[in-house]
Structure 1
Amino acid sequence: MTKHILMVVTTADKMKDGHETGLWLSEFGEAYVEFANKGYEITVASPLGGKSPIDERSLEGGETPQEILDTAKYLEDTIKLDEITDESKYDAIFLPGGHGTMFDLPENEKLHQLIRDIYEADNLVAAVCHGPAGLVGVKLSNGTPLVAGKTVTAFTDEEERETTLDKYMPFLLESRLRELGAEFIAKENWADHIQSDGKLITGQNPQSTISVAKEVVKQLG
């Protein structure tokens, strides 16, 4: 049977002080291409539905492959998370990053419910870079945080400071995950680094996207 993946992207386009933000395109596009090449059915959803804003910083340098640029068309009309009524059909949920995720995913109760139900059904939960911001509000049915006691990674506090955007963030992601009881593993800035703890797969930064996607593919078989 064809595997079905739910990709959840941000619809936040502003940071603190009005600085523009959004989705980091390569983190969506590289994963999308990996999944599409395996013939997976892919649903793209977001908190508000409609268009997911792309962070212009993710397009700087002019080195983004056309194959990745082409995936932007799947961000034009995303499904609203509240419209998803049957999470049982998803074999995995994948959260790409971009600073926008820090502003709308941590508080989205529908997303938290979807992640909990997918995880507790023994299906995959994967996130990369700032995508794990979507995990911080997730509690399992027994009331414990999803990440408590789990080995994870995400965009590190040191990487955030290097971007100089740390002062515009509502919180630092590594610090928050540690506060929730996660065993956080950080590698050097911009290293391709993932952690796989059972059905929970996380990646540190944009450089880790393909590795996370390949681990999802590996586990889905």
Structure 2
Amino acid sequence: MAQTASKGKVLIILSGANTIHLKEGKDQKTGYFLSELGHPLMKILEAGYDVVFANPTGTHPVQDPISELLIWFLGNYKEREREHALIDKMKIESNFASPRPFASLTDDDLSTFVGVFIPGGHAPMQDLHNDKELARILGHFHRMAKPTGAICHGPAALLSTKTEEGCPYSGYKVTAYSNTEDKLNEIMWWGTLPYKLVDELEKAGLKCEETFPMGSKVTVDRELVSGQNPSSASAFGDAFVKKLNESVTLGGTGVHAKEI
């Protein structure tokens, strides 16, 4: 059977952190959130796109232990196992086990991708929010208006693009893990996060939207597609793939091309 040609490559940005440092001085285990990576990833692959993984230094990604709870899969054990199997498959068929270090992605490399996706887990708050190589990478996707997806704490990556002159995403509508939801985590951990993601996004000029805690919420503004939490993973995946398909159909020419 002939293999279907790929529609293009999507860059998946992962954190290299496996803990987040709390204000009380202790470290809380974290990493990528399984359903926030697995569910959108399935939709991206099923839609005909290839994926390449990258993180700050090329270290092996670690799963957030909380994301193993069946509550995030509505008690569906088979769905959780399906997503585990997908990650295992990516270790063999893609570069999940050895992500590209950010610094290794040249401008020529970035031009070969049709979109970028940043899953959540608290880990992005630890090492993606201030990574200057990531700022360079996201700057490419923003200037070219290529679909940029981020879910839960993934939007922390957008903070890396801030400069003294401002943030290129200022004025964008975005959805991220809400302050109320983060406070529930703090109660569970008996600790305080170093900052609240929504507060920092708003300081950077983004306009944050939210629904009730653990409700599904997806926001699309220009090339940016964002989801609030694990409950949003399916709807987020659909919205991100729709944006990818629209962009590819248009030849990847976006609203910011005139800025280049």
TM-score by length of 1: 0.93
User: In the alignment, which residue of structure 2 is the partner of 1:207?
Assistant: 231
Distance 1:3 1:104 in 2: 28
Which amino acid is the alignment partner of residue 69 of structure 1? H
Change (3 A) 1:108 1:166: farther
Contact 2:166–2:204 (Cα < 8 Å) also in 1: no
| Aligned equivalents of 1:166, 1:129: Cα separation in 2 | 21
2:97 is aligned with 1:76: yes
Alignment of 1:66 with 2:87, yes or no, is no
Secondary structure of the residue that 2:168 maps to in structure 1? coil
CA contact (8 A) 2:36 2:151 kept: yes
SS across alignment from 1:136: helix
For the 8 Å contact 2:58–2:98, the answer to whether it is kept is yes
Q: Aligned pair 1:98/2:121, yes or no?
A: yes
Large movers: runs of 4+ above 4 Å: none
Counterpart position of 1:161? 183
What SS class does the counterpart of residue 160 from structure 2 fall into?
coil
Q: CA deviation at 1:50?
A: 3.0
Q: Superposition pairs for residues 30-179 of structure 1, below 5 Å?
A: 30-61=39-70, 63=77, 64-73=79-88, 74=90, 75-85=96-106, 86-139=109-162, 143-164=165-186, 165=189, 167-179=191-203
Instruction: Say if 2:204 is the partner of 1:180.
Output: yes
The yes-or-no answer on 1:196 pairing with 2:220 is yes
Compute the RMSD of aligned alpha carbons. Answer: 1.9
Tell me, what secondary structure is at the counterpart of 1:45?
A: strand
Shift of 1:119: 1.3
Shift in Å at residue 98 of structure 1?
A: 0.5
Residue 14 (structure 1) aligns with = 19
Q: 3-state DSSP class of the match of 1:163?
A: helix
SS in 1 for 2:35: helix
Point out where structure 1 has 5 or more consecutive residues left out of the alignment: none
Structure 2: distance between partners of 1:162 and 1:18: 17
Q: Distance in 2 between matches of 1:116 and 1:27?
A: 23
Unaligned runs of 5+ in 2: 1-5, 91-95, 246-260
Letter in 1 for 2:85: D
Contact (CA 8 Å) 1:160, 1:166: kept in 2 or not?
no
**Distance between the aligned counterparts of 2:53 and 2:82, measured in 1?**
17
TM-superposed CA distance for 1:167, in Å, is 3.7
Residue matched to 1:5: 10
Query: What is the Cα deviation at residue 23 of structure 1?
Result: 1.0
SS in 2 for 1:6: strand
Quote the Cα distance in structure 2 between the aligned partners of 1:26 and 1:149.
29
Which moved further from structure 2: 152-161 or 45-54?
45-54
SS of 2:149's equivalent in the other structure is: strand
Helix, strand or coil: the match of 2:130? coil
* Bigger mean CA deviation after superposition, 42-51 or 131-140: 131-140
Q: TM-score, normalised by structure 2?
A: 0.79
